[in-house]
Structure 1
Amino acid sequence: MRVAVLSPVAWRTPPRHYGPWEQVASNIAEGLVAKGVEVTLFATGDSITAGKLDAVCSTGYEEDRNQEAKVLECLHISNLMEKAGQFDLIHNNFDFLPLTYSGLIKTPVITTIHGFSSQRIIPVYKKYNATSHYVSISNADRSPELNYLATVYNGLNTSDFAFSPKAEDYLMYFGRIHHDKGTAEAIEIALKSNRKLLIAGIIQDAGYYREKVEPFIDNEQIVYVGHAGPEERNALLGKAAALLHPINFNEPFGMSVAEAMLCGTPVIAFSKGSMPELIKHEQTGFLVNTIDEAVKAVSNLNTINRQDCRNWAGDQFSSEKMVNDYYSLYEKILNV
């Protein structure tokens, strides 16, 4: 089987820091290679893969702002589509734009929908409902207007996450600093709990950071540690008493939630979007609806068994499970 895996070109695949779509595309590609599949990864030129790499740019447009994002995306997608005949199947991890080529090629396209940036993109997906194959990353993140082949949860390389049986006395916020992700709410939870909070992530909304986050950073109780790579991520998440995830939107998946649990760290999250699918309430964390409920959950963290967090995440959100699920879908599409 010859499979082309299409990754975005905002960041390197796998990403150095932020880049959830790139991370999933990488895990899919590397997992397929390990299964003996002939894989070509279409990504930035500095990307890392055990398969074949095909690139039209040396770095991503978020890492080199001298590049025009839309131009890069068009060159990137067309590069693959003009080579579509070389592959048995294309696995699209790059949103809706590649679908606009799918009617012009014979190679089947499976698209992982990593979330909807806006309901206004739905018409493109609807146009190719009958001829494409859509996969959701959670049951919560589905449009009633689309036909889905399956739900496949994002998978992580479990060996990359060290289990920490004991925690230190701090809470963790890990993610982009933006209203959607609830950075300000995490700070309020920590202050009301009288607990230390470490904040790690890229500043995606500078105005939000200046107004809602920076005034509370005292480098004692509330500490911003910057964006964290894989090594820092393990230590920060693994030693935390809990990950605070008070999101203000219906999150399609939530990579940091799975990452925290793989380290043995329970998660306190607002019960929105996919959170009820990721977290076993009162077993691997707490699903709450308000800041006060989150504060109460902090006081009940001693009821959570950290090994249960690791076991649950390892069973549900491993790269091996994800790749096997996708491989079964490939066989179904190709009638193998």
Structure 2
Amino acid sequence: MKIAILAPIAWRTPPLKYGPWEQVASNITEGLVDKGMDVTLFATGDSNTKGKLSSVCEHAYAEDTTIDPKVAECLHISQLMEQANQFDIIHNNYDFLPLSYSRLIKTPIVTTIHGFSSPKIIPVFKKYNSTSHYVSISDSNRNPDLNYEATVYNGININEFIFSGEPDDYLLFFGRIHRDKGTYEAIEIAKKTKRKLVISGFIQDQEYFNQKVKPYINDEDIVYVGNSGPKQRLKLLSQACALLHPISFQEPFGLSVVEAMACGTPVIAFNKGSMPELILHEKTGFLVSNIDQAIEAISHIQHINRNECTKWVTSMFSRQKMTEGYLKVYRKILHGNN
């Protein structure tokens, strides 16, 4: 089976720091290569893969301001589509735009819907509903107007994560800094529990950061360490006593939630979107509805068995399990096998 994986090019694949879609595209690619598949990754030229790499843009447009994003996107997607007949299946991780090629080529396209950035993009998915193959990353993130082949949870390479049975005492906020992710709410929780909070993430909303986050940063109890790379990420996730995930939107998945639990770190999350699918309440963390409940959960965090967090992620969110899920989807499309 010859498989083409189409990754976004906002960031390198895998990303040097932030870039969840690129990270998942990398995990899929490497997982398929480990299974002996013939895989070509379409990504930036500086990307890293054990498979074949095809690129027209050497660098990511979010990392190089001289690149016009729309031009790069056009060249990148067309690079794959113009050689679509060389592949048995195309796996699109680049949202809705590649769907506009789907009826112009014979190769079937599997599209992982990583989330809906706006209701305005749904008409594109609906237009190609009858001829496309959609995969959701959680059951909660399904749109009732779309048809899905399967839900395949995002998977991580468990071997890349460090387990810690003796964490430090700090709380961690890890993710893009935006009101949707609840950075300010994490600060409130930490302040009211008199705990140190370490904040790590890409500043997606500068105004929000300036108004709601920056005034509280003092390098004592509220510490911002910037947008962390892999090594710092592992240290932060493994040594935290808990990850705070006080989201205000319907989170499609939440990669940092799984990564934290892989390290043995329990997660306290607002019960929205995919969180009930990712977290076992009172076993790998706590699902709460508000700040007061999050504060109460912190007082019980020592009762969570950190080994159980790692076992849960290994059983449900490994790269191997994700890869097997996608291979099942590919075979179903190509051969009608369930």
**TM-score bracket for this pair, using the shorter chain length:** over 0.9
SS of residue matched to 1:30: helix
Any gaps of 5 or more consecutive residues in structure 2?
Answer: none
Q: Which amino acid aligns with 1:332?
A: K
The CA deviation at 1:334 is: 0.6
The CA deviation at 1:40 is: 0.6
Distance 1:297 1:65 in 2: 43
- Structure 1 segments, 4+ long, off by >2 Å, are none
Q: Which amino acid aligns with 1:224?
A: Y
Distance 1:235 1:39 in 2: 32
- The residue aligned with 2:3 is 3
Correspondence 1:68-83 to 2 at 5 A: 68-83=68-83
- The residue aligned with 2:299 is 299
Distance 1:315 1:17 in 2: 26
Correspondence 1:173-188 to 2 at 5 A: 173-188=173-188
Correspondence 1:1-336 to 2 at 5 A: 1-335=1-335
SS of residue matched to 2:41: strand
CA RMSD in angstroms, aligned pairs only: 0.6
SS of residue matched to 2:225: strand
Measured against aligned partners, the alpha-carbon deviations of 1:231-267 in whole angstroms (never above 9, x if no partner) come to 1111101010000000011010000000000000000
Measured against aligned partners, the alpha-carbon deviations of 1:276-309 in whole angstroms (never above 9, x if no partner) come to 1000000000000110100000111011000000
TM-score (norm 1): 0.99
The CA deviation at 1:166 is: 1.2
Measured against aligned partners, the alpha-carbon deviations of 1:172-219 in whole angstroms (never above 9, x if no partner) come to 000111101100000000000110000001111111111000111111
The CA deviation at 1:275 is: 0.4
SS of residue matched to 1:5: strand
SS of residue matched to 2:97: coil
The CA deviation at 1:167 is: 1.1
Distance 1:129 1:209 in 2: 38
Distance 1:161 1:49 in 2: 19
Measured against aligned partners, the alpha-carbon deviations of 1:121-176 in whole angstroms (never above 9, x if no partner) come to 11111111111100000000010000000000000000010110111111000011
SS of residue matched to 1:190: helix
Q: Which amino acid aligns with 2:67?
A: Q
Q: Which amino acid aligns with 1:127?
A: K
Percent identity between the two aligned chains: 65
TM-score (norm 2): 0.99
The CA deviation at 1:65 is: 1.2
Q: Which amino acid aligns with 1:179?
A: R
Distance 2:299 2:54 in 1: 51
Distance 2:70 2:291 in 1: 40
The CA deviation at 1:229 is: 0.9
Measured against aligned partners, the alpha-carbon deviations of 1:48-70 in whole angstroms (never above 9, x if no partner) come to 01111100110010000111111
Distance 1:65 1:283 in 2: 45
SS of residue matched to 1:140: helix
Any gaps of 5 or more consecutive residues in structure 1?
Answer: none
Distance 1:289 1:193 in 2: 17
SS of residue matched to 2:189: helix
Measured against aligned partners, the alpha-carbon deviations of 1:98-121 in whole angstroms (never above 9, x if no partner) come to 000000000000000000011111
Distance 2:123 2:197 in 1: 42
